[in-house]
Amino acid sequence: MAQAIIELKNVSYAYEDEGTEAVKNVSLSIPQGAFHAILGQNGSGKSTLAKLINGLYLPTKGSVQVCGMDTAEDENTWEIRRRAGMVFQNPDNQLVATVVEEDVAFGLENIGVPTGEMPARIEQALSDVGMLDFAKRAPHTLSGGQKQRVAIAGVLAMAPEAIIFDESTAMLDPKGRKEVFSAVQRLNEEKGITVLWITHFMEEAALCQQVHVMHEGEIVLSGTPQEVFADVERIQSYRLDAPPMARLAHALRSQGMPIREGIMTIREMQEEVKRLCK
Amino acid sequence: MLKNITLGQYYPVDSLVHRLDPRIKIILLIALIVAIFLAGNLLAFVPVMLFIGFASMLSSVPFKLLLKGLRPLRFILIFTFVLNLFFLQGEEILLDLGFMSIKKEALISAVRFSLRLVLLVMGSSLLTLTTPPIVLTDGLERLLSPLRVIHFPAHEMAMMMSIALRFIPTLLEEADKIMKAQTARGADFESGNLIQRARAMVPLLVPLFVSAFRRAGDLAMAMEARCYHGGEGRTRLRVLKCKAADFYSLFALAALIAAVVLCGKVY
Amino acid sequence: MQVTLDHVTHTYQPGSPFQATAIQDVSLTIQSGEFLALIGHTGSGKSTLAQHINGLLKPTDGKVLIDGRDIHEKGFDKKEIRRRVGLVFQYPEHQLFEESVAKDIAFGPKNLGLPQAEIDERVKEALENVGLSYEEFAEKSPFELSGGQMRRVAMAGVLAMRPEILVLDEPAAGLDPQSREEMLSLIAGLHQKGTTIVMVSHAMDDVARFATRAVVMEKGTIAMDGKPEEIFRHAARLQEMGLDVPSICRLGLALREAGIDFPEDIFREADAEKALIQLWKGAEKC
């Protein structure tokens, strides 16, 4: 088993102005190079969890370790944020500069990378997300999916080991969503970057290696997508949705058709129908 | 509706003046302002005019554009000219209208005053026409950074200015959308008297402010996540370097000041 | 009530270097009682088209007619269009501004110049219509509600105008699955009560479930117009345009490819279920 890059032990977090805990006793371990999803409805605590991981919030109970460093130690803060970058939801509200390449430079400037090194790193990061042709453009002239890819490049340039995506596709159209998700898949496969993908889209969660379902601040279900989406009723009780094929398989099973468990994709459904109906 | 507003009046061509270091250009403008106020008589304005004329020639900015910057000022110009002309006292009467007379000193003073204003505006227009706002911000930050010793927040100021520049198009777009949405609910932004119109802006301004605050919060979070912790220990992608042309322009500047002072003495 | 777009073209900032034609020679008649889905990817002109339906945008060429009358001709009361055609923008919660929910919803009726008693009645009705209790929400500040509730309040603000046609731009964008479901069934409910619905959407599964007619936009023109089952029969063409097709359609394609006799006109989950059970029972008998 690869070493854990992100390790949460019995973490709880309560906002100061609210009595209740937004995150309750969560333990989670993300191994190096993995691609995990956290699935939950709005208000399930998944965004709070993201902010706990890169030290924007500090746990009220328990501990968060990133690359072996405790987020509660002040001197670790900047190193943690460099090594576990974060991409947020609203594409408009995370770009700082008026020119794409300068925005990618922003993080590098913050961590004091020498000026001479910057152009090469910016170029590499932009080409990794397929945005090199847009280096001189102004952010407000880009589409939502393009802006999010610039935001990813900004994190990528800092050479992180992990990236946390906090609902980074929630505000995009289907095209932008695919664009961003496949760019992230490529980074995971080709660069070995560990990904924690926070979302309420089950289609995306279904494509990750492991899914952790969050509900009312707790992780209530963890496993492969097949395992997690097998129990359609349980998923729906968390105000979430199962992939259409899992839903269909579930409905057919309840009418007596002996469809096997763990069906998620059209391909799997096709095989199964072929087996049963031919 | 709101999209037609053009911000900053940068004129994007490549010229010697465009390529000058923004710090030098800011210094040049400040010195130019000093020279304009040093000019004790009309003759002393001649070198200033030559300097601005020469600079605008080198900048390849159409002269028409430079004059355009004066348009909003035309009423003030006429007003102050007339005021100076009729109400300043002097000895030598040039023109007697019976109820009023124009004195020689008053005419000179009126011309000087107007000339000052015109040259000031043209000089600063030349700076903004040849320098993109973001570069200007950069230059200002570098120039002011020595003041950090007395706790002047040069970096923070420049950061705020550049964030403002980044978000102006976004907020304009948003304002346009909110305006349309409220119009769809029967709001009327275009008729009524001044007070009614001001009140009609509330449904536009409140959501706009709410959104600006939300964006500010998000952005602060995103900047922190990208390791932003103020100006300390920060490196820069763009480094400003003075080139030969920058030094020559400083010579030209010295010559200008000398000429202005000399002209003042000779007369 | 009937809205007709007659050869409508709209060009943004004509004559400037930023000139862009968003829709080109579009003709479309919206019949009373329809649930029309307007489909197309970002930049296909569907939002521009939606804004013509209630006269927010004026065609650079062509006409918009309500019950046969040109809405941009002199003497046509703009208020009448605003009243009869409601428009809910994307993320409408970003347009809330009043100190209380009730006041915000009252904004539209007030602009119509209605008497106070009628305004109050409409506010109540609109809140009920979006499934929020008047007693609980009327006096709350709209800014302390959850995202899904804010969106419903914003919708109530448009419903309070009692529009005959409701145009919605991506009403479920950004909502989580449950709130999304609630929003969609709310719209379906309004349609059942007689409101004509025009819904701009990317989500084909939603179109398959609710729409009675689908109009597909591509590059500023209407590429397809018909019943959903007709549209989804051209799955390949839709995918070419960069659009999704309902997952059941894709399943159908895959099944037929594998030599299974799955009917072509099925695109809803419930129908697929029935068809598959039938297929299975048929196969068992053999």
Do B180 and B161 sit in the same domain of this protein? yes
Q: Residue C158 — φ and ψ, nearest 5°?
A: -85, -40
> What digits encode the pLDDT tens for the residues A14-45?
988 777 889 999 999 999 999 999 999 888 99
Write the ipTM: 0.90
Side-chain half-sphere CA neighbours of A1 within 13 A: 6
Does some domain include residue B141?
Answer: no
Interface B-C, measured as beta-carbon pairs within 8 A, has a size of: 56
Verify that B79 and B161 share a domain, yes or no: no
Touching B (3+ Cβ pairs <8 A), the chains are A, C
Secondary structure of chain B as H, E, C letters? CCCCCCCCCCCCCCCHHHHCCHHHHHHHHHHHHHHHHHCCCHHHHHHHHHHHHHHHHHHCCCHHHHHHCCHHHHHHHHHHHHHHHHHCCCCCEEEECCCCEEEHHHHHHHHHHHHHHHHHHHHHHHHHHHCCHHHHHHHHHHHHHHHHHHCCCHHHHHHHHHHHHHHHHHHHHHHHHHHHHHHHCCCCCCCCCHHHHHHHCHHHHHHHHHHHHHHHHHHHHHHHHCCCCCCCCCCCCCCCCCCHHHHHHHHHHHHHHHHHHHHHHHC
- Selected residue with higher pLDDT from C178 and C159: C159
Query: Residue B184: how many CB atoms within 10 A of its CB?
Result: 27
The answer to whether the CB of A163 falls within 8 A of the CB of A84 is: yes
Q: Is residue B197 part of a domain?
A: yes
Give the model's pLDDT for residue A199.
Answer: 94
| In contact, B189 and B201? CB cutoff 8 Å | yes
Q: Which CATH class is domain A4-224?
A: alpha beta
- Mean pLDDT throughout A207-227? 94
Report CB contact under 8 Å: B185, C56. no
What is the mean predicted confidence (pLDDT) over C205-224? 93
> Is B143 part of any domain?
no
Whether residues B189 and B258 share a domain: the answer is: no
Better pLDDT: B70 or C257: C257
Q: Give the nearest chain A residue to B174 (CA atoms).
A: A92
Q: What CA–CA distance (Å, rounded) separates C246 from C209?
A: 10
pLDDT digits (tens, 9 = 90+) for A235-273: 999 989 888 899 999 999 999 999 998 888 899 999 999
* Residue B88 and residue B40 share a domain: yes
C54 lies within 8 A of chain B by CB: yes
How near does any CA of chain A get to the CA of B185, in Å?
A: 25
The rounded distance, in Å, linking the Cα atoms of A45 and A28 is 14
Instruction: Tell me the CB-side half-sphere exposure of residue C165, using CA atoms within 13 A.
Output: 29
Whole-number Å distance between alpha carbons of A48 and A53: 9
Residue C278: both structure tokens together? 């039938």
Q: Are residues B113 and B163 in the same domain?
A: no
Do the Cβ atoms of B135 and B22 come closer than 8 Å? Answer: yes
* pLDDT-derived band at B256, boundaries 50, 70, 90: confident
User: Tell me, what's the pLDDT at A189?
Assistant: 95
CA distance A236 to A221: 13
Chain A residues within 8 A of C247 when measuring between CB atoms: 244-245, 266
Taking an 8 Å cut-off on Cβ atoms, the answer to whether B186 and C82 are in contact is: yes
Q: Could you tell me how far CA C216 lies from the centroid of its own chain? A: 13
Q: Does residue B37 lie in a domain region?
A: yes
**Among partner residues A54, A115, A122, which is closest to B239 by beta-carbon distance?**
A115
On whether both B57 and B162 belong to a single domain, the answer is no
User: Does an H or E element contain A165, and which?
Assistant: strand A162-166
Q: Which of A170, A240, A278 sits opposite C260 (nearest CB)?
A: A278
Does A88 contact B222 at a Cβ distance shorter than 8 Å? yes
Residue A169: pLDDT over 50: yes
Cβ <8 Å between A155 and B226: yes
Residues B116 and B207 in one domain: no
Q: Report the gap between the CA of A241 and the closest CA in chain B (Å).
A: 28
Listed in sequence order, the residues at least 6 apart from B153 whose beta carbon sits closer than 8 Å to its beta carbon are none
Residue A184: both structure tokens together: 């992230």
CB contact under 8 A, B180 and C82: no
Q: Per-residue pLDDT averaged across A198-222, rounded? A: 94
Is B246 found in the same domain as B197?
A: no
Handedness of CA A214, A146, C198, C90 (dihedral sign): positive
Question: How far apart are the C-alpha atoms of C63 and C4, rounded to whole Å?
Answer: 8
Tens-place pLDDT, residues B142-153? 888 888 888 888
Q: What's the mean pLDDT in C161-180?
A: 91
DSSP symbols for A188-245: HHHH--EEEEEES-HHHHTTSSEEEEEETTEEEEEE-HHHHHH-HHHHHHTT----HH
Residues of chain C neighbouring A171 (CB-CB closer than 8 A): 173-174
Start-to-end CA span in chain C (Å): 55
Interface test with C, best of B174, B185, B190 (most C CBs within 10 A): B185
How many structural domains comprise chain B? 2
Q: What percent of chain A has pLDDT over 70?
A: 99
> Quick one: pLDDT at residue C18?
72
Given the structure tokens 């094929």, which residue do they identify?
Answer: A245
Rounded CA-CA distance B5/A99 in Å is: 20
Confidence of residue C286 (pLDDT cuts 50, 70, 90): low
**Cα(C96)–Cα(C137) distance, integer angstroms:** 14
Q: Band the pLDDT of B267: cuts 50, 70, 90.
A: low
Residues B16 and B109 in one domain: yes
| Beta strand pairing call for A84-87 and A162-166 | parallel
Q: How far apart are CA C106 and CA C98, in angstroms?
A: 10
Closest CA to A44 of A215, A221, A239: A215
| Cβ neighbours of B4 in C, within 8 Å | 13
B137 inside domain: no
B126 inside domain: yes
pTM to 2 decimal places: 0.86
What was the pLDDT predicted at B97?
75
State whether residue A274 sits within 8 Å of chain C by CB.
Answer: yes
Q: Which residue of C has its CA nearest to B177?
A: C89
**C136-145: long-range contacts (C-beta < 8 A, 24 or more apart)?**
C137/C101, C138/C100, C138/C101, C138/C102, C139/C100, C139/C101, C139/C102, C140/C100, C140/C101, C141/C99, C141/C100, C141/C101, C142/C93, C142/C96, C142/C98, C142/C100, C142/C101, C142/C104, C143/B210, C143/C96, C145/C101
Q: Are C202 and A41 an interchain contact pair (Cβ–Cβ within 8 Å)?
A: no
**pLDDT in the model for residue A184:** 97
Show Cβ contacts of residue C180 under 8 Å, excluding neighbours closer than 6 positions. C172
**Is residue B196, in this structure, part of any structural domain at all?**
yes
Any A CB within 8 A of B219 CB: yes
pLDDT confidence of B2, banded at 50, 70, 90?
A: very low
Please name the residues between 149 and 208 in chain B that touch chain C, using a CB distance below 8 Å. Answer: 174, 177-178, 180-188, 202-203, 206-207
C contact test, residue of A264, A277, A278 with most C CBs within 10 A: A277
CB contact under 8 Å between B180 and C51, yes or no, is yes
Same domain for B101 and B15: yes
Paired tokens of A215: 């509900």
Is residue B79 domain-shared with residue B121, that is, in the same domain?
yes
Residues B46 and B168 in one domain: no
Angle among Cα C216, C218, C219 to the nearest 5 degrees reads: 155
Q: Do B202 and C13 touch (CB under 8 A)?
A: no
Q: CA of A50: which chain B residue's CA is closest? A: B225
Domain that holds residue B92: 1-131+242-267
Q: Would you call C222 an interface residue with chain B, using a CB distance cutoff of 8 Å?
A: no
Among the listed residues C255, C32, B133, C179, the one whose alpha carbon sits nearest the alpha carbon of residue A200 = C179
Contact A244 C258 (CB under 8 A): no
**pLDDT at position A160 over 90:** yes
Q: What average pLDDT does this structure show over C33-37?
A: 96
Question: B244-266 and B22-38 are packed helices; what angle lies between their axes, rounded to 10 degrees?
Answer: 0
The answer as to whether B33 is a domain residue is yes
The nearest CA of chain C is from the CA of B220 a distance in Å of: 20
User: Using an 8 Å Cβ cutoff, are B18 and B11 in contact?
Assistant: no
Q: Where are the domains of chain A?
A: 4-224
Subunits that touch chain A (at least 3 Cβ pairs < 8 angstroms)?
Answer: B, C
Chain C residues near residue A252 by CB distance under 8 angstroms: 273, 276-277, 280
Q: Which residues contact B211 (CB under 8 A, 6 or more apart)?
A: B171, B174, C94
pLDDT at C122: 96
